[in-house]
Structure 1
Amino acid sequence: MQRHTYPDIESLSQGFADFSESVLKNILARKPQATLVVPGGNTPRHYLPALAKCQLPWDRITVTLSDERWVDVHDEQSNEHLVKKYLMAQLPESARFVGLKTQHDSPFDAVNAIHQHLDSLPLPLSLTVLGLGEDGHIASLFPGMNTDLLSTHHCVATAPPIAPSLRVSLSLNFLVKSEHIALVVTGKNKRRLLDQLSENPDLKLPIVWLLQRTQLPIMVFEMNES
């Protein structure tokens, strides 16, 4: 991990946006299209608007999600709803968004269809942005999952240990093939977790699975909260 610490959420958001703009511009200098993966949650409400202000050829960038709750896309809990509100609504209409939610009753029934949608994206994923849970989960990959089951498709259906809805997540194998991975972390407990993992990696945690499998450094954007 390459950790970058900021004094407040505004400077973190700008630092993240500057990094993302540079990465995507470099990729688009050698490729016609790029794919940007973004998460849901509370923190993206702050940095997605900063990302939207970047001077990028958004018509050449396809935006998708790291994971999704199996709820209606207009529901306040939907990651698609959040990303459309805080990012896509600020972008030119030519910007393309590919969601993960389908009309299937369950994400377990939708894996093949979502895999095909994801397979149509410009691959490998250009820049994947992830959050981090206090339990070490990333996207909707949680401790206790069988990692052998995460590599057969680009996505996997999950039933989180404590959550009101089922979810679909990009698979570990799909995530680690990303050209660049960024982790945006706020909250003292999550920073402490990263400190601990630097000295003593816990092999039960999905963030450690990712760190062990990727060949590139993960860029971490974190806030210095006392």
Structure 2
Amino acid sequence: MPAHHLIQRHYFSHLPELTHAFVQYTSTILRDALSQKDKASLVVPGGQTPRAYLPQLGQQDLPWNQIYITLSDERWVNTCHQDSNERLLREHCLQYMRIPPHFISLKTSHAHPEQAIASLHTRLSAIPRPFSLTILGLGEDGHIASLFPGMTLDPAATRLCQAATPPAAPTLRMSLSFRALIASDHICLVITGNGKRRFLDQIIARPDPSLPFIKLLQHKPVTVFETDTTYQE
């Protein structure tokens, strides 16, 4: 099936409009999941864009104690480091929640992410799957989470996470595996900025299966929330 048939795109003129609609979308999915099961699960990305919607999401009146949250990927730095996605999530979302959720960290004390795969796989196995909702960003090279072009993306992999060495970044990463990402009831992409939107147009028009995002579309439909404006602190 052509890539564009597997994408539902929602464009917003301004970031606040996107944020409001996206938070309502996320809340609805989590409530619907909890109406069918006693637990739900949410995967959240790091980066700059989530800073726009995470505070509003954390302020939603949801039974967070029934919801498991983890990250799509993590930089292999101390969780107090300014580049830590866990720190981002705690400061911009978790602190606003009336009831603490079940947060599953992607960081351990191991020196190298490869050494942490087994223990993190066990940790991640406690999260209800399929994930109720996985939120992703899109890198300018087509990467999702910390799954980069050229990496092995096996939908039948045994592990729920894998280590990653970004081609143009100084920090090693831990990422949810491709297998883990596609085990989601809903997958959503949030992109901001005209450049990212043009890039998405290009890779959908001429899909390259070596790009992790295009490979994702071969397995799961994706809902996109997009705007030309970008987040400014």
Hey, what does 2:101 align to over in structure 1?
95
* Equivalent residues of 2:63, 2:99 under 8 A apart: no
* Number of the residue aligned with 2:3: none
What is the letter of the counterpart of residue 175 of structure 1? Answer: L
Amino acid at match of 2:179: N
Specify the alignment match of 1:85 in structure 2: 91
Secondary structure class of the residue paired with 2:80 = coil
**Residues 150 and 167 of structure 1: CA distance in aligned 2, closer, same or farther (over 3 Å):** farther
Residue in 1 aligned with 2:187?
181
Distance 1:150 1:75 in 2: 33
Stretches (4+) displaced over 6 A: none
Kept after mapping to 2: 8 A contact 1:36/1:63: yes
Shift of 1:164: 1.0
| Structure 1 residue 152: Cα displacement | 2.5
Gaps of 5+ in 1: none
* RMSD of equivalent CA atoms: 1.5
| Distance across 2 between alignment mates of 1:156 and 1:149 | 13
Matched, 1:125 2:125: no
For this pair of structures, how many residues does the alignment match?
224
Counterpart residue identity of residue 170, structure 1: L
Residue by residue over 1:134-161, the C-alpha shift from the partner in whole angstroms, topping out at 9 and shown as x without a partner, is 1110000001112249823100001110
Kindly indicate whether the alpha-carbon contact (under 8 Å) linking 1:35 and 1:63 is maintained by their aligned counterparts in 2: yes
* 8 Å CA contact retained: 1:59, 1:92: no
Quick check: 1:222 aligned with 2:226? yes
What is the percentage of aligned positions where both structures have the same residue?
47
- How far apart, CA to CA, are the structure 2 residues paired with 1:10 and 1:139? 24
Counterparts of 1:203 and 1:135, CA distance in 2:
13
TM-score between both structures, scaled by the size of structure 2: 0.92
Gaps spanning 5+ residues in structure 2: where?
A: 1-6
Given that residues 150 and 171 in structure 1 are in contact (C-alpha distance below 8 angstroms), is that contact kept between their aligned partners in structure 2?
no
Per the alignment, in what secondary structure is the counterpart of residue 168 of structure 1?
strand
> Which TM-score applies when normalising by structure 1?
0.95
Deviation at 1:225, TM superposition (A): 4.6
Residue 110 (structure 2) pairs with residue 104 (structure 1): yes
Q: 1:42 aligns with which of 40, 44, 48?
A: 48
Change (3 A) 1:106 1:150: farther
Shift of 1:177: 1.1
**1:75 is paired with a residue of what secondary structure?**
coil
